Amino acid sequence: MLSLWLRILLVIQVLSQLADTIWPPSNLSNIRLIGLFPDQYNSSKATPLSVHSRAMFQAAVTLAQQSNMTVEGKSIGYESFLTNGDGIYALADTCRALNDSNIVGVIGPGYSRESHIISPFADKLGFPVVSYASTDPSLSDRQAYPAFYRTVPSDNIAAVTIAKLFVRFNWARCIIIYQNDAFGSGGMSAISDAFDKYNLTVSDTIVFDIATQSVRGSLKPILTKNSARIIILWAIDVYATIVLNNALRADVLGPQFTWILSANIRLSEFDSVYYPNLNGMLVVEPVVGSVVSAPINNTLLNLAYSLWQEYEPETFPGAANVDYYALFAFDAAWLLITSLQQLCLTNTVDYSPCIQYIGNDFCFDRRFINSTALFNIVNSMKYLGVSGAIQFANDTTDRIDGIYYVMKNIQLFTKGIDAVPVMVWSYENDWALYSSTSVIIWPGNSLTTPTGYASLSGVNLRIAVIETAPFTMITQSTDTSGVTRNKLIGYMPDLIELLRVRMGFIPNITLTVNRTFNQVIDAVARDEFDIFVAQTTITALRTQKVGFSDSIFDNSLRVIIRKDLNPNISLFSYLTPFSIKLWFTLLAACIYAGFLFGLIEREINPALRNKSIFSQIGLSLWYSSGTIVGYGVDFHATTAAGRVVTIALYILSLVLVAAYTANLASDLTIAKSKDIIDGIEDIKNGRLAFSRIGILVGSSLEEYYLREISGGIKNYYPIMLKQEIYDGLLNNVIDASIMDSGVLEYVTNNIYCNLTLVGKDFEPSAFGIVFQKGWQYEQILDINILGLREAGTLEDLRKKWFEAKYCSQVGETSQAMSIESMVGLFITFGVISTIGLIGFLWKKRFVIRNFIVKLKEREKSSSRESIKISRDDITAPEVVIKVPLDEDITMTEDVKISLEDETASK
């Protein structure tokens, strides 16, 4: 019984292999077309590309024969060969066929690598090659391949359609898996060029070796460590099936990855267990005009299908299931048939045969005489084929009309799995829905378009942080059970929580202690941590070791110093508004104006007339000085010339007083707020000893100092912790330091009120999250950070942690002018007023001398009177008092009574 079934199967196989003999005879004429098809001879796994294309090629020639389309009165014959996808086989078959007949054209071959061999050969012999499936973009070069044409669109267009899909779905990057031949390499190159045009990224490429029929490298680690989750598989259906089977075993299909195929695959070759993993894949392939409701030649198509069903019904899959490349094959054959017919109709010169070769029988030495005329006809040919409008140009091998693509979506149904058309592309409409009811099912049986990036949902992240206020700080919190625990607060913990909510990762946070920033960065590079979330500056040196996210905090550098609470102000700072030369010039002007005024007014002005020369000089100087300072004097000019001098003094006063007042206020204010340096330029210029500048070791600040200030010399004061910077400034260990502006603004506003910032911001930079190079979650992290920035959330965080100003709330420094700044003014006042007092005393010297003399004589007289009154021999009731002759003294009654009482008692 078993042997009977084997015989039946053998008969069916033989009949299948001999199917081409069922067609009408192909050797009706020695004018023939060659059809090259990629299957292996006697293969039990014939592909639809090869079987359907050969059937439609034979249908085209048979239809021409039945329609009496002749060349030189002869029907066109054909020969078809299975090439096994090898260009040498195709070349050998073509060469052998030339020995037996006049070959006027080649339909095919099916693969680009074969066309690269056949096309130069056809150019040497002078007949055209029209491929129905070779899509390598390099074949579009008319100068390199003058005999080559194709009815299938170039992969250059396919690459553009895929790039536009990425733009439509907001995907940014992909991984390409391609077969290592002309088709695969050309497609990969075309996609890369198209992605560059649309600012997209090919993050990695993987080679499928067609010799070993395996992927180079291990598929799973390559894909899972990459951030891209869109895979473009650029391979023919046979190789694509092998790759997908490997991907299924490695578990790198859906729902983690979205795959885009360049060829329709046989879904029946996969185990139904894997159907959920295949669900959601996309297939992008060229199609005929009928798929996009564009016009096609239905008459020719129906006739061709009728012939196919008549002569080879066992391979006809039904009109809806015919491979699109088969229709391209029909149009390729029909293009040459009609071109040859037109060639012979127009070739009337000398009545010579239009189909004629010169040379010997060896194929490489033969040459088609009318090749130029035939190529010109093909270039100008324009007609409506079964795939759409057919037209070519002189400068390209590609058809320039009737180009369309379809995107099929592999969807899971109750009865199985199938590729469903969901979108179509054309030059006129770009990508559009295939129908109003088209729905795309994405991997994981989801209706939500995938992001194209690796998801962090449910992933445990090892996060390193470092303590620096206000970015990351430690506080204590007590839970409901009364247990006190340390808690991290600040800008960075808040940012981590915001990202956790958006992306769904599980944070495992470690507070690093006694490590510099560079040491933690090295730890991330060694895979001790997944990410480092801190105020880490993005620098070129660091990006050589690790990767950085987009900016999480816009930063710059500032210089921090101590506040000078006792400013050193000169005692005579009030004189600084004018230079010494200006002061002497002003004095000279005052003397000159006084002399001039005295000269003019001395004889007429009542205040000066009849005065001594010294008095006139003094009053004149008083007048000029009083007028200059704007105070004025107690007398006025009486002559016209004197008034003119007064006007000049007023003008001088107007300008000088205003300038002095403004400059004095400015100088005193500046002197009050003067710091030891004004900013980074003073540090660069050496105004401070470099050993008095504290620099945090192992940080981007050290890199900046060595690069921009010291020229690589470590002449600074090394500091290991930020706290040492503040302590060093307050304890006068260092005079200045360079730090991030965000940190400094916080500490000077809220913690160290005796420290201050000087100068402007410099060296703009950005803080980023640190991760390993090539981290697969880089893109999704950047997208979420960008989302927080666009929503204003990062700005809200900055306001929350950096806008508080405790120092300004507890007490502002008084802006009133201190006594120290005016000591010199009071000294000057004292000196001048003392000079005036001395002058007054000098003028009254005689009066003072007489007063002193009289005072002394009075003291002597009082002494004599006292002696006289106390004498024992006083008996008379009357007392005689001698007084100086020049004074008139009258005895008062009180004195008399007192003396009488004293005498009586005695």
Residues 129 and 193 in one domain: no
Residues 132 and 205 in one domain: no
Residues 419 and 283 in one domain: yes
Closest C-alpha to 399, from 274, 237, 286 = 286
Separation of alpha carbons 393 and 770, rounded Å: 54
Interaxial angle between packed helices 298-311 and 48-66, expressed in degrees from 0 to 180 and rounded to the nearest 10: 100
Residue pLDDT, tens place only, 418-475: 999 999 999 988 999 999 889 999 999 999 999 888 888 889 999 999 998 889 999 9
Question: 111 lies in a domain?
Answer: yes
Separation of alpha carbons 906 and 895, rounded Å: 17
pLDDT of residue 345: 82
Closest C-alpha to 593, from 653, 666, 531 = 653
pLDDT of residue 814: 44
pLDDT at 130 over 80: yes
Question: 173 lies in a domain?
Answer: yes
Residue 687, classed as helix, strand or coil, is coil
Question: 560 lies in a domain?
Answer: no
Average pLDDT over residues 392-397: 92
Closest C-alpha to 153, from 334, 310, 325 = 325
- Of 310-319, 562-571, 576-585, the range with the lowest mean pLDDT is 562-571
Question: 330 lies in a domain?
Answer: yes
pLDDT of residue 804: 74
The pair of structure tokens assigned to 834 is 């003392």
Separation of alpha carbons 215 and 386, rounded Å: 38
Residue pLDDT, tens place only, 30-39: 889 999 999 8
Q: What is the pTM of this model?
A: 0.65
E strands along 217-340, which residues?
230-234, 258-261, 282-287
Separation of alpha carbons 491 and 555, rounded Å: 14
**What residues does 561 pair with on adjacent strands?**
736, 756
pLDDT at 713 over 50: yes
Question: 870 lies in a domain?
Answer: no
pLDDT of residue 13: 44
Residues 80 and 175 in one domain: no
pLDDT at 196 over 80: yes
Residues 232 and 368 in one domain: no
pLDDT of residue 261: 97
Q: How confident is the model at residue 820 (pLDDT cuts 50, 70, 90)?
A: low
Residues 36 and 163 in one domain: no
- Output the average pLDDT for the chain: 84
pLDDT at 566 over 90: no
The answer to whether 558 touches 737, Cβ cutoff 8 Å, is: no
Question: 274 lies in a domain?
Answer: yes
The pair of structure tokens assigned to 270 is 């996969």
Residue 174: its H or E element: strand 173-179
pLDDT of residue 102: 86
CATH number where 389 lies: 3.40.50.2300
pLDDT at 879 over 90: no
Going by their DSSP bridges, the two strands 282-287 and 258-261 should be labelled as: parallel
Q: How confident is the model at residue 900 (pLDDT cuts 50, 70, 90)?
A: very low
pLDDT of residue 568: 56
Residues 124 and 246 in one domain: no
Residue pLDDT, tens place only, 473-490: 999 877 777 777 888 999
Residue at which a domain ends, from 626, 661, 696: 661
Residues 212 and 253 in one domain: yes
Residues 615 and 528 in one domain: no
pLDDT of residue 415: 87
CA atoms within 13 A on the CB side of 750: 13
pLDDT at 865 over 60: yes
Residue at which a domain ends, from 644, 661, 678: 661
pLDDT of residue 829: 43
Q: CA 26, 29, 35: angle at the middle one, nearest 5?
A: 45
Query: At a CB cut-off of 8 Å and minimum separation 6, what does 713 contact?
Result: 706
pLDDT of residue 890: 44
Residues 605 and 619 in one domain: yes
pLDDT of residue 506: 95
Residue at which a domain ends, from 661, 684, 699: 661
Average pLDDT over residues 327-336: 96
The pair of structure tokens assigned to 176 is 């390409």
Residues 141 and 201 in one domain: no
Average pLDDT over residues 653-658: 76
pLDDT at 304 over 90: yes
Separation of alpha carbons 380 and 339, rounded Å: 10
Closest C-alpha to 517, from 800, 803, 719, 736 = 719
Question: 470 lies in a domain?
Answer: yes
The pair of structure tokens assigned to 188 is 């990969």
pLDDT at 880 over 80: no
CATH number where 604 lies: 1.10.287
Going by their DSSP bridges, the two strands 214-215 and 282-287 should be labelled as: unpaired
Residue that has been written with the tokens 């292996």 in this structure: 40
The answer to whether 525 touches 772, Cβ cutoff 8 Å, is: yes
User: What secondary structure, in 3-state letters, does 31-98 show?
Assistant: EEEEEEECCCCCCCCCCHHHHHHHHHHHHHHHHHHHCCCEECCEECEEEEEECCCCHHHHHHHHHHHH
- Of 13-22, 104-113, 162-171, 553-562, the range with the lowest mean pLDDT is 13-22
Give the other-Cβ count within 10 Å of 141's Cβ: 13
Domain that holds residue 647: 575-661
Question: 851 lies in a domain?
Answer: no
Average pLDDT over residues 544-557: 92
Residue pLDDT, tens place only, 253-280: 988 899 999 999 989 889 999 999 999 9
Residue pLDDT, tens place only, 577-626: 778 888 888 788 788 877 877 777 777 888 778 888 888 788 878 877 87
Residue 106, classed as helix, strand or coil, is strand
Please tell me the total count of domains within the chain: 4
- Of 281-295, 330-344, 594-608, 678-692, the range with the lowest mean pLDDT is 594-608
Separation of alpha carbons 811 and 642, rounded Å: 57
- Residue at 251: amino acid letter: D
Separation of alpha carbons 784 and 871, rounded Å: 121
Separation of alpha carbons 673 and 43, rounded Å: 94
pLDDT of residue 600: 78
pLDDT of residue 480: 73
pLDDT of residue 305: 96
Residue pLDDT, tens place only, 79-99: 999 998 888 988 998 888 888
Residues 286 and 198 in one domain: yes
In percent, how much of the chain has pLDDT > 70? Answer: 85
CATH number where 481 lies: 3.40.190.10
Closest C-alpha to 42, from 64, 70, 20, 74 = 20
The pair of structure tokens assigned to 184 is 């695969």
Higher pLDDT, 636 or 214: 214
